[in-house]
A and B are shown apart, each in its own frame.
Chain A
């Protein structure tokens, strides 16, 4: 059973992909060049503060707006272990799974935790925060297959024998 612990960065509702990475940086050559601008319209300093293994906890409709896949890629590149939100926007949800970024839906957690709290996730089972347990619904099997393969590129490589 996979279990991990991480520090919380707290965000609100409707965090759109223009906030995660503004269009003006999308023509930079790669996500490495873009990642320092992550979340800059909202919190300019945040990209520099997020560390390896940290956890983003947000409100509803995380990742809404533009289809830009750099959004989940950048979050992964920043070292974020997983994003926990009340709900996710559809395109972001697919993009994150396809890039091997773990997403967890939890209705109750966001309103109970504070930024800097340390929380523990037990995959497919629960989140523990402040002495309280928050149950998790496991992802559908076809999505777990993509996540377990390490993302859609690896799944397709296996299909193509690369």
Chain B
């Protein structure tokens, strides 16, 4: 019997010749990521457990992003505790204002193909874009990993998602993952791994794959994997021969197979206030908006800003609508400046903010109030996520967001 991608990663890690779904295994962790909002809790638990030193100074990454820049006086405490922990433990990798954790982990090469990585944030599934088995854990569990370098996992079952064909104009990776979440529902992949394949996926950039793996958690998935190819290797700085073991066998066993034709996909929205409440953008067209947000670890990359800039070039954001644009990392910000995207967006009337989690996690940079409506490119539209619980949040692609910002109401992006 063959093996799925996740089984291959676990086998490689544990040195076992075969593993099967349902088995409990202890894995050696290749890297961990801790983000600012949970640092004080991790440090407290680490000490309470009686640990003195982290298991490997090179394998721990601290990233400040949810609270950057600070929006409340008490936020500073998180940085002080983080800075002190970096110094005390001699940690080698930390980022104080370089971007969103899930962008930086693959971008900086901390999460590579075949690795096993855990992070304190639920969107840690993102690193599956480079075929890294990565998943979110709580701060108590993180404290235990910091001390031991190990973690128990249950080998998950895999859902195979095959997408073939060419996407219509105006339809993007974001529309694919939203559609999939709508079909699976919010709990359809709980405890399971999503494994993506097919010609549409092969054609995609690593950035687009990142959008998909990022949102896999919204269907409950433990991980979302794309087998590595040349694009992956170029992105992660590894050689193809280093990852030649990392493919799914033809006779691997899947608990479910889902097949899609890219040509049948349409621009969609997750409507208030569940991520699996999916409707075609055309059904919602004309709905008036107060704000539009383009950014986050889901859709704050260069290709996203490029799409938005192309749509907004020479146009203006509609009166009374605020367009907030947040690049996912400092390097993306700098690239977007170089490419002229930031100038185009600023001239269109966008508020361009520093890379960070701000609005997506409802802490800063554009929070909304009762009765307001926002179309956003991030990953959650839960009650109260971006302000009060009476804010309506629609999730869509950067193209849908940009077209809607110019119109002032929900608009289907141009299909040319």
Q: Do A and B bind each other?
A: yes
Q: Which residues of A contact B (CB under 8 A)?
A: 14, 16, 18-19, 22-24, 26-29, 40-42, 60-61, 64-70, 87-91, 94-95, 98-99, 140, 142, 151-153, 156-157, 160-162
Q: Pick the contact of B186 from A14, A26, A88, A99 — CB < 8 Å? A: A14
Q: Which of B42-50, B84-92, B169-177, B292-300 contacts A (4 or more CB under 8 A)?
A: B42-50
B362 near A91: Cβ-Cβ < 8 Å: no
Q: Pick the contact of A140 from B24, B135, B385 — CB < 8 Å? A: B24
Q: Does B121 contact A (CB under 8 A)?
A: yes
Q: Pick the contact of A157 from B49, B72, B136 — CB < 8 Å? A: B49
Q: Does B191 contact A (CB under 8 A)?
A: yes
Query: Measured between C-beta atoms, what is the minimum distance from A138 to chain B in Å?
Result: 15
Q: Do A27 and B220 contact each other (CB < 8 Å), given the known contacts A91-B122, A95-B141, A152-B141?
A: no
B274: which A residues are within 8 A, CB to CB? 14
B147: which A residues are within 8 A, CB to CB? 156, 160
Q: Does B361 contact A (CB under 8 A)?
A: yes
Q: Which of B195-203, B304-312, B376-384 contacts A (4 or more CB under 8 A)?
A: B376-384
- What separation, in Å, do the CA atoms of A61 and B190 have in the docked complex? 8
0/1 per residue, B82-120, Cβ < 8 Å to A? 000000000000000000000000000000000000001
Q: Do A67 and B121 contact each other (CB < 8 Å), given the known contacts A98-B141, A156-B49?
A: yes
B37 near A27: Cβ-Cβ < 8 Å: yes
Query: Measured between C-beta atoms, what is the minimum distance from A36 to chain B in Å?
Result: 15
Q: Does B337 contact A (CB under 8 A)?
A: no
Q: Pick the contact of A160 from B41, B49, B78 — CB < 8 Å? A: B49
Query: Measured between C-beta atoms, what is the minimum distance from A70 to chain B in Å?
Result: 8
A66: which B residues are within 8 A, CB to CB? 121-122, 380
Sampled A-B contacts (16; CB under 8 Å):
A18-B362, A18-B385, A24-B362, A41-B382, A42-B389, A60-B187, A65-B122, A66-B380, A67-B121, A69-B139, A89-B190, A90-B220, A90-B222, A157-B48, A160-B49, A162-B50
Q: Does B138 contact A (CB under 8 A)?
A: yes
Q: Which 3 pairs of residues, A with B, have the shortest CB-CB distance?
A: A162-B50, A69-B138, A160-B50
A94: which B residues are within 8 A, CB to CB? 137-138, 141
B121: which A residues are within 8 A, CB to CB? 66-67
Q: Do A23 and B74 contact each other (CB < 8 Å), given the known contacts A69-B140, A87-B187, A91-B136?
A: no
0/1 per residue, B48-73, Cβ < 8 Å to A? 11110000000000000001000010
Query: Measured between C-beta atoms, what is the minimum distance from B141 to chain A in Å?
Result: 6
0/1 per residue, B357-368, Cβ < 8 Å to A? 000011100000
Query: Measured between C-beta atoms, what is the minimum distance from A78 to chain B in Å?
Result: 18
Query: Measured between C-beta atoms, what is the minimum distance from A97 to chain B in Å?
Result: 10
Q: Does B372 contact A (CB under 8 A)?
A: no
Nearest A residue to B26, CB-CB: A142
Q: Do A152 and B122 contact each other (CB < 8 Å), given the known contacts A89-B220, A161-B50?
A: no
Q: Do A19 and B50 contact each other (CB < 8 Å), given the known contacts A67-B138, A87-B187, A94-B138?
A: no
A87: which B residues are within 8 A, CB to CB? 187, 190
- What separation, in Å, do the CA atoms of A28 and B75 have in the docked complex? 9
Nearest A residue to B24, CB-CB: A142
A61 near B140: Cβ-Cβ < 8 Å: no
A160: which B residues are within 8 A, CB to CB? 49-51, 147
A23 near B385: Cβ-Cβ < 8 Å: yes
B187 near A67: Cβ-Cβ < 8 Å: no
Query: Measured between C-beta atoms, what is the minimum distance from A145 to chain B in Å?
Result: 10
B122: which A residues are within 8 A, CB to CB? 65-67, 91
Nearest B residue to A95, CB-CB: B138
Q: Does B144 contact A (CB under 8 A)?
A: yes
Q: Pick the contact of B140 from A29, A140, A153 — CB < 8 Å? A: A153
B383 near A65: Cβ-Cβ < 8 Å: no
